[in-house]
Amino acid sequence: MSNPISGASRRQPENTNGFYRAVWRWHFYAGLFVLPFLVLMAITGGAYLFRDEIDNIVYADLKQVAAPTTPALPYSTQIDAALAMQAGKVVKLTTPVTPTSSTEVTIADATGTRHAVYVNPYSAQALGEMADRGTIMWTIRHLHSLAEFGTFTNALIEIVGGWTILLVLTGIYLWWPKRVDGTSRLAIRGKPASRRWWRDSHAVVGLFAGFFILFLATTGMPWSIFWGKYANQFANGTPTGYPSGVRVDVPLSTVPMIDAFGETGWTTENAPLPLSVASGPKAIGIDAATTTLNDLGLTQGYAVSLPNGPRGVYSASIYPDDLSLQRVIHLDQYSGKPLIDMSYADYGPLGRGLEWAINVHMGQEYGLTNQIVMLMVCASIVFMAISAGAMWWKRRPDGQMGVPPLPRDIRKVYGVMAILAIGGIIFPLVGLSMIVILLLDLFFVVRPRLLLRNA
């Protein structure tokens, strides 16, 4: 957000306002730690907002087909065509989103590696094959969530989210005091060559983007490795999240939905799959299963996971832009009867609220307007990182890091730390990182200065 405002103000000068200087110091450290990650997330997040549009252009030869002149062939025929291109076991089928979209068949080979084969629904021609989740947008998504760097670095999602909240709130505090010279707090003074221009631009852009950045940081928390996990457990352990009422008297497995689909809604990702209860010589087959799902009104573009073992089920899900159409249906593989039929309206209030927030976060809920607004926020984040770097470079003493000075009254630091401790309790990984930053500050910044002063 903003660095301190120089010049006269209605408050005490910044060099005598201890609380202000303590907040500025933590704002500096928050920016130093979080801005590189925020830039990465802003760039990848901005691109991922247009994932469908980009993928449909880059992989047009796989994902797009000519307008149909004949009815679509049975899915079993399309699967046979996919298996002719890639041997293995079919684990999932994704139906075409539009009449000019291809069918995606996910196949696990002998080593368990998954492949996506795209098939023309009207000719059963296999259009091509790639690694499952091998598109450029999946790579960008993994970079955005830091999952590309492993489980440990994925924990940074929670830490970055917490520090981002700290960055915004401290920035608002630093900007808030009014000026006495009559200049509007929204004025951008000076020229780009001056630090004042960068500082005012940083503050004004941060003020307008701050709410959205807080929203993105907060709604990104459900994907975090620690806080997100326990928040999900809380939601699904109470009537506020996963709707337990829709699974009464239904035998359940220990396999979570996310293992079957690879991607589900946040509220249902840890919900266990049900078990088939009927008995019969063989499963009803993919054609009968998709016919039943279509008759139940499932929105096209849904993914259906095929039964895994004799007690497995046909599990279908769809998470479209329109939340009201979000739905999960599990069919008994022998009778074809729905064991669980669950929609967005069935979620508890916490589940509905979080699913809505996540949909907005991903630019889905309000169409192109949602995408453009979030893209502008991503651009604002990148600009604020650049302006923060420019301010720091113009302010720092030669050969020094330029850490804001400690207040003369050390009790002001304790006051700020007490406030930060609340956030550290709510987000434990953030609290742990604050302790690490505090120790680094003490041993590598404060202590050398004290030793130099006493020498």
Q: pLDDT tens across 45-81, in order?
A: 999 999 999 999 999 999 999 999 999 999 999 999 9
Dihedral over Cα of 242, 245, 246, 252: its sign? positive
The token pair that represents 46 in the structure block: 């901005």
Q: What b/e sequence results for 406-420 when a residue is b if at least 16 CB atoms lie within 10 Å of its CB, and e otherwise? A: bbeeeebbeebeeeb
| Domain range summary for the chain, segments of one domain joined by + | 18-47+147-223+381-454, 60-134, 242-347
Question: Are residues 395 and 352 in contact, defined by beta-carbon separation less than 8 angstroms?
Answer: no
Q: Torsions phi, psi of 277, nearest 5?
A: -110, -20
Report how far residue 358's alpha carbon sits from residue 314's, in angstroms, rounded to the nearest whole number.
26
Q: Is 207 helix (H, G, I), strand (E, B) or coil?
A: helix
Q: Is 205 helix (H, G, I), strand (E, B) or coil?
A: helix
C-alpha closest to that of 300 among 51, 90, 121: 121
Indicate if the pLDDT at residue 403 is higher than 70: yes
Sequence-distant (≥ 6) Cβ neighbours of residue 430 within 8 angstroms = 158, 159, 161, 162, 163, 166, 423, 424
Indicate if the pLDDT at residue 33 is higher than 90: no
Report how far residue 269's alpha carbon sits from residue 185's, in angstroms, rounded to the nearest whole number.
46
129 has which bridge partners?
117
- Please determine, looking at this structure, whether the domain spanning 60-134 carries the CATH number 3.10.450.40: yes
Mean pLDDT score of the chain: 83
Average pLDDT over residues 222-239: 66
Indicate if the pLDDT at residue 413 is higher than 80: no
114-123, 205-214, 410-419: the lowest-pLDDT one: 410-419
155 or 369: which carries more pLDDT confidence? Answer: 369
214-218, 275-279, 295-299: the lowest-pLDDT one: 275-279
Q: What does DSSP say about strands 338-343 and 114-119: parallel, antiparallel, or unpaired?
A: unpaired
Indicate if the pLDDT at residue 195 is higher than 60: yes
pLDDT for 212: 95
The token pair that represents 449 in the structure block: 């200065």
Indicate if the pLDDT at residue 240 is higher than 60: no
Write down the pTM of the prediction.
Answer: 0.81
Q: What percentage of the chain carries pLDDT values higher than 90?
A: 43
pLDDT for 427: 79
Indicate if the pLDDT at residue 260 is higher than 80: no
Q: Is 52 helix (H, G, I), strand (E, B) or coil?
A: helix
Report how far residue 343's alpha carbon sits from residue 2's, in angstroms, rounded to the nearest whole number.
44
The token pair that represents 360 in the structure block: 């907005």
402 or 287: which carries more pLDDT confidence? Answer: 287
